[in-house]
Structure formats: structure tokens, C-alpha cells
């Protein structure tokens, strides 16, 4: 296993070397070198913003295909609640689950059922642990957990130490399958139907345990056409549904927070908003908030980059679908909250932002960085392949590149060779001085 | 060992900018690899002091000196000054105007919080001249 596995990858052949991705990446994890983007593995949090923004479709998400199912004797599909919002005119969730099963699975287990157990356990956790650092931050969005590891390691202690609904669903589904079939654990394949690449990463390189309870992840937008096809031909829907309103609501922003049934719970979405909020938690400005649900994607999981439908439409559909469901059909006991639902471990800090291992060396580098930065134009034009002048200065002191990457430095050198106005004309129009 | 100096000008005209300098200081300390506890103490103390500077003094300048064993932050303004520092240090004492309180600030916890999160706090203030606050946070070896 690579030390920092990522689902988000570059398709080198498609990359044109433009700078859309470097300026959109929230952790400044991308550089462009020799006409191709490079993703810095320690910094990448698999948010998929680069996939969203790449005009050449050169950013891709590694995921599994339906062919993987053949490796197992018995397979179970675990649909994320956001899947229910992908289908137009869906009246019966059982119909969708039956169509999903018909894609080649032996059973279907709703992640929303496990989500209701996490909601129930979270309520108990908050009540039983008044001294746990507030606000408690949800552990459900893997992008947020990785963002905290890389950019806000101080806040790891705020992360809810419970498993994500996906992992709990994986555990429950495997136990159910073993019970019903008598098969061994390894003969059963558990596949998540994912709205985002971060969940693919979370399965292959989990933060909450040594090994994931899942065997793979299929992208919603991959199975979407076949799923709609099966749904159209479905003769009869099987009774597969086992979750209520709270579970399904986890597919969109506010669902998890409202499941806590507390007025002091907050829900935030969009990676930039989440980062601002994490800054505020660091500065202890949100001491009165009990619980915070953070979703890296706008709209929540319905906004994931591997979904098929517009997130606003998907959200409206989820709201419609949940209307006549019972509030919740699953709960967890306090013993389960302290037992099976407790995460094996917390995310570990990733020292990607540190300039050096020891303070002395880091300070020397910071002094150099600031001095170099003074000489840059601070336009953050991206022509050097780094997202900001500061990021370039940082790359220089880390020894990755030199000041020659800056187009203004090149211009100065040309001027010093006596080129004068000709040098001015060589740089792109936005950067020329007024005549 | 050359200490690291940072300098920020804090504008007094825009409320929403308050916290920018303390945010930048925090990010610098993170890239240097200071411990989470030290970073938190500096971030909170400087944020509170920066807010005070904006609310009461119309902005000012912040100078930071970072050394491996301690971080010293000097916040200097040319505002109205503090007539009674002992009174100002009391929890809940506030002279913030109503419009500021409506924004959730001015609860009278600024200076007490700065004291709580710093290892040393020095306040030099002259009415009509201005206030200089020196915050020291030590980094235990």
C-alpha cells in the first residue's frame, strides 16, 4: 500500500498543463511541471475539486467496476443515501433497491440504516461525554477528516470517535450475510455505491480502523445508466428498505446535524466554508456549539463529484422521498456506542505543512521564504505552476525548484541584458506596466 | 539563531478583516511546527487583541518576533487609551458600543482571555495617546 493512497489521480494523456486545478485545490496540493499537473500526495485530501474544475477531464477518480463482484461467492450493495436523489420520479425506495440488486448483487443493505444508528449513538455520546472537546466534529465526511489531519491537526481531538455510517453498514451487512448464508467473511463482497472519490480512498486506506469493512466502491455515475434501465424493467419490488427519515436525510447537508435533535448542532457545506469554520473552532470562537456536521461538497453528499444528478434536484427528491417515512427505524444502545460503533483509531496528523522537522531549520526556511516572497509580485498568476507566489516561495525553500520559475524574474534578467522595452513586451499583457 | 519577524498593518475601518493577521500568524506557526498548544494560545490571544484594536482604536500595527523558545507579539495602536487597566482586566467589563455588541463582540472577555492564553501580558496605555500590548507565549523545550 502506498503511504498516501488517493483515489483522485491524473490522466497524464489528457492533461494540457493549464492552471485551473492548482488555483482551485483547497490544500494547494497541485503543481504544473513540464506541461502536466502533479498531485502532492501528502497534501491531497481527495475532495475532488480538481475533478470538478478540470476542463480537459484529466483528473479522474480510481474506483471499482461491477466485474469485481465475480471475485466473491456472495455480494452485497451498500447504497449511500444520496443515491435515492439520483432517480427521477422515484416513488418507492424498495423499487430502487431492487433494481440495484438486479445489477448482480445477492443483497442490498442501506447505509442510511447504519446512519440512523450513528445518529442515535452520537446523541448518547454527547450526553455521556460532556468533557469531550466542543464542538464535536462529525467523522462522516472523509475529506473533512483528511483536511483536519493535514491543515488542522489541533482539531483531531474534536472528531467524533465513532465509525462512519459506511463502515458500520459494512460491518452489519457482512454479519447479516454470514448469518444467512453460512459463508466465511472473505467469501462475501461488500460494495459501497459512492457519490465521491474520498469514500474510495476511505475504503482502501481507512483513517478510523486498520482495515475497512468494505471490499470496494462503485461510482454512482458509473452504475447510473444500468440502474435506470433495471428500474424500468422491474416487475416487482422486494421489501429491502430498512431506514427512515433521519437515515435518508444524511444524503444532504443538515441531515446528520438534525439527527442529533439538538438546537446547538450546526451543518456546513462547501470545502471553503468548512475551512473557515475549522479556523474559527481553532480560535475557540464556537465554544457554545455542541456538534458540527461538515460536508466538503456543496449540498452534502448529493454534491459529490461521482453523482449523476444536479445536487439541488437530488436534494429536492430526497426531501420528497423522506416525507412519509417513519422518523427512524434503527437505533443503537449505549453499549454499542461504546463498543462496536467506536472507531478503532483517530486520524493521524499529516505534517505536510511543516517546513522542516525541527524548529530551528523551519525558522531558517521561513526567514528565507519571507525574503523571497518580498521579491515576488504577489499576483498569484500561476504561470510558475504553483497556485500562489507564497506557494512558489515555499517550494523554493523546500528545494523543489528555483526563483527562475517566476516570469517576472525572467523579465528582470532580460532587462538586465539590455533588452529594455523588448523584455516588457515579452511578458503577457496583464503583467505589463502602463506605458 | 536569527529570530523570525512578522509585521502586519491592521485596518480599523473594516470589521470583517479583524482576525486576518492572527490567522496569518497561526498559519506561520503551523508551518514552523510549533506544538498545537502553543499555536492555540498565540492564535486566541492575538485574535482577541486584534479585535480590540479594531473595535476601540481604529486599527494599528502588529509585530511578531518568533524564537524557538518564545513568541512575542506587540500590538500598537494610537487609539483612545485605557483609563483604568485594572478595571479593563475584569471579566465582563466592556466599553464596546451597542452596535459592536450586537455583532457578538464586546462581552468584556477580551483582555481576560488574552491574559489567560499568554504566559506574560504587558499593557502600556496612555489616555489620548494609545495602547501597546505585549503578549508573550513560551514554548517549553
Contact (CB<8Å) B32/A355: yes
Please give, rounded to a whole number of angstroms, the shortest distance from the CA of B32 to a CA of chain A: 5
Cβ separation A154–B39 shorter than 8 A: yes
Instruction: Read off the C-alpha cell for A141.
Output: 465526511
pLDDT band (50, 70, 90) for residue A1 = very low
Q: Which residues of A touch B6 (CB under 8 A)?
A: 370
A363 with B39: Cβ contact below 8 A: no
B22 contacts A358? CB cut-off 8 A: no
Nearest-angstrom CA–CA distance, B21 and B73: 11
Instruction: Name the residue in chain A with its Cα closest to that of B66.
Output: A363
Q: Compute the distance between CA of residue A335 and CA of residue A65 in angstroms, rounded to an integer.
A: 37
Helices (H), B75-138: 85-88, 98-102, 110-117
* Contact between chains at A360 and B68 (C-beta distance less than 8 A): yes
**Location of C-alpha cell 455520546:** A125
Domains of chain B: 4-138 (3.30.565.10)
> Residue A297 in 3-state DSSP?
coil
Q: Do B40 and A366 touch (CB under 8 A)?
A: no
pLDDT of residue A287: 83
The 10s digit of each residue's pLDDT in B3-26 is 999 999 998 877 777 788 999 999
Which residues of A lie inside 8 Å of B (Cβ-Cβ)? Answer: 151, 153-154, 279, 282-284, 351, 353-360, 362-364, 366-367, 370, 394
Q: What is the pLDDT of residues B42-60, one digit of tens each?
A: 999 999 999 889 888 888 9
Contact predicate A294/A268, CB 8 Å: yes
From chain A, pick out residues whose CB is under 8 angstroms from the CB of B139: 359
Cβ-Cβ pairs closer than 8 A, A with B, add up to: 58
Taking all residues of chain B, what is their mean pLDDT, rounded to a whole number? 88
pTM given for the model: 0.92
| Cα nearest neighbour of B31 on chain A | A354
Helix pair B36-57, B20-32: axis angle to 10 deg? 160
Q: Is the pLDDT of residue A244 over 80?
A: yes
pLDDT band per the 50, 70, 90 thresholds, residue A403: very high
**Could you tell me which chain B residue has the CA closest to the CA of A352?**
B31
Burial class (CB in 10 A: 0-12, 13-18, 19+), A148: buried
Query: When comparing pLDDT for A149 and B100, which is higher?
Result: A149
A180, with CB counted inside 10 A (0-12, 13-18, 19+), is exposed
Question: For an interface test with B, which of A282, A287, A360, A378 has the most B Cβ atoms less than 10 Å from its Cβ?
Answer: A282
Which residue segments constitute the domains of chain A, with CATH numbers given? Answer: 8-61 (3.30.70.20), 66-338 (no CATH), 359-431 (1.10.15.40)
Residue B88 has a pLDDT of 80
Which residues have a Cβ under 8 Å from the Cβ of A334 and sit 6 or more positions away? A124, A128
Q: What torsion, rounded to 10 degrees, do the Cα atoms B5, B11, B15, B17 define?
A: -50
Closest CA to A301 of A252, A257, A229, A237: A252
| ipTM higher than threshold 0.85 | no
Neighbours of A432 (CB within 10 A): 12
Per-residue model confidence (pLDDT) at position A434: 67
pLDDT at A3: 66
Three-point CA angle B133, B134, B136, nearest 5°: 145
Q: Average of pLDDT values for A154-175? A: 97
Extract the C-alpha cell encoding A287.
465554544
Amino acid at each position: 500500500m502506498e503511504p498516501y493512497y488517493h483515489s483522485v489521480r491524473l490522466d497524464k494523456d489528457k492533461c494540457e498543463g493549464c492552471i485551473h486545478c492548482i488555483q482551485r485545490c483547497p490544500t494547494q496540493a497541485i503543481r504544473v511541471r513540464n506541461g502536466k499537473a502533479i498531485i502532492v500526495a501528502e497534501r491531497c485530501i481527495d475532495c475532488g475539486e480538481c475533478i470538478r474544475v478540470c476542463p480537459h477531464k484529466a483528473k479522474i477518480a480510481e474506483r471499482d467496476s461491477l466485474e469485481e463482484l465475480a471475485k466473491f461467492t456472495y455480494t452485497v450493495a451498500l447504497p449511500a443515501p444520496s443515491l435515492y436523489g439520483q432517480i427521477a420520479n422515484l416513488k418507492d425506495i424498495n423499487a430502487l433497491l431492487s433494481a440495484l440488486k438486479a445489477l448482480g448483487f445477492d443483497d442490498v443493505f442501506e447505509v442510511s440504516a447504519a446512519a440512523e444508528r450513528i445518529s442515535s449513538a452520537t446523541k448518547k455520546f454527547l450526553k455521556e461525554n460532556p468533557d469531550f472537546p466542543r464542538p464535536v466534529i462529525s467523522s462522516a465526511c472523509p475529506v473533512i477528516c483528511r483536511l483536519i489531519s493535514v491543515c488542522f491537526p489541533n482539531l483531531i481531538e474534536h472528531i467524533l470517535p465513532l465509525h462512519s455510517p459506511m463502515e458500520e453498514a459494512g460491518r452489519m451487512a457482512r454479519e447479516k450475510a454470514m448469518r444467512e448464508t453460512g459463508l466465511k467473511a472473505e467469501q462475501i463482497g461488500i460494495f459501497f455505491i459512492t457519490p465521491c472519490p474520498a469514500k474510495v480512498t476511505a475504503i482502501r486506506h481507512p483513517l478510523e480502523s486498520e482495515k475497512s469493512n468494505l471490499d470496494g466502491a462503485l461510482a454512482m455515475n458509473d452504475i447510473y445508466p444500468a440502474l435506470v434501465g433495471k428500474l424500468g424493467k422491474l416487475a416487482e419490488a422486494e421489501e429491502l428498505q430498512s431506514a427512515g427519515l433521519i437515515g435518508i436525510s444524511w444524503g444532504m447537508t443538515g441531515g446528520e446535524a438534525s439527527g442529533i435533535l439538538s438546537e446547538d448542532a450546526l451543518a456546513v457545506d462547501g470545502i471553503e466554508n468548512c475551512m473557515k469554520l475549522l479556523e474559527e473552532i481553532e480560535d475557540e470562537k464556537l465554544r457554545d456549539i455542541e456538534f458540527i456536521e461538515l460536508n466538503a461538497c456543496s449540498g452534502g453528499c448529493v454534491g459529490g463529484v461521482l453523482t449523476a444528478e444536479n445536487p439541488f434536484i437530488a436534494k429536492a427528491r430526497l426531501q420528497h422521498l423522506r416525507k412519509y417515512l417513519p422518523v427512524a427505524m434503527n437505533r443503537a444502545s449505549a453499549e454499542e456506542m461504546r463498543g462496536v460503533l467506536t472507531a478503532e483509531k483517530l486520524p493521524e496528523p499529516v505534517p505536510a505543512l511543516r517546513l522542516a522537522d525541527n524548529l530551528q531549520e523551519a525558522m531558517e526556511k521561513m526567514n528565507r521564504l519571507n525574503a523571497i516572497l518580498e521579491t515576488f509580485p504577489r499576483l498569484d498568476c500561476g504561470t510558475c505552476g504553483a497556485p500562489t507566489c507564497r506557494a512558489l516561495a515555499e517550494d523554493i525553500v523546500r528545494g523543489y525548484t528555483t526563483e527562475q520559475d517566476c516570469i517576472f524574474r525572467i523579465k528582470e534578467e532580460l532587462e538586465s541584458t539590455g533588452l529594455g522595452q523588448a523584455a516588457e513586451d515579452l511578458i503577457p499583457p496583464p503583467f505589463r506596466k502602463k506605458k | 539563531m536569527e529570530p523570525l519577524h512578522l509585521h502586519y498593518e491592521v485596518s480599523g475601518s473594516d470589521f470583517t478583516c479583524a482576525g486576518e493577521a492572527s490567522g496569518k500568524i497561526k498559519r506561520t506557526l503551523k508551518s514552523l511546527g510549533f506544538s498545537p498548544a502553543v499555536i492555540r494560545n498565540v492564535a486566541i490571544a492575538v485574535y482577541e487583541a486584534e479585535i480590540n484594536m479594531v473595535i476601540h482604536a481604529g486599527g494599528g500595527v502588529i509585530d511578531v518576533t518568533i524564537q524557538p523558545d518564545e513568541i512575542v507579539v506587540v500590538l500598537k495602536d494610537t487609539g483612545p487609551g485605557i483609563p483604568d487597566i485594572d478595571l479593563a482586566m475584569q471579566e465582563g467589563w466592556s466599553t464596546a458600543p451597542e452596535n459592536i455588541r450586537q455583532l457578538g463582540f464586546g462581552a468584556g472577555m477580551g483582555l481576560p482571555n488574552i491574559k489567560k492564553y499568554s504566559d506574560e501580558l504587558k499593557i502600556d496605555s496612555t489616555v489620548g495617546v494609545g495602547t501597546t500590548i505585549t503578549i508573550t507565549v513560551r514554548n517549553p523545550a
